[in-house]
Amino acid sequence: MKKVTSRWIPHQLNDEQNQERARLCRENLANFVMVPGDYVILLQ
């Protein structure tokens, strides 16, 4: 395991775990909207 920011994540994931982690990250990023020309990020 290695530490990334304040969370510990597994250093080696199998393909299924890696795909699930990527899918969840994409879903979470889809909930945020960057306002052009502004430093504000809005949660939808």
Q: What is the pLDDT at residue 20?
A: 93
Domain ranges of the chain: 2-43
Token pair, residue 41, equals 């990020």
1-44: per-residue pLDDT in tens? 555 566 666 678 888 998 998 999 888 888 776 666 666 666 66
Residues 22/14, Cβ–Cβ less than 8 Å: no
**Whole-number Cα distances in Å, 4 to 9, 13, 35, 36:** 7, 15, 27, 28
Tell me 18's DSSP state. Answer: H
Burial 2-32 (b: 16+ CB within 10 A, else e): eeeeeeeeeeeeeeeeeeeeeeeeeeeeeee
Q: What is the pLDDT at residue 23?
A: 94
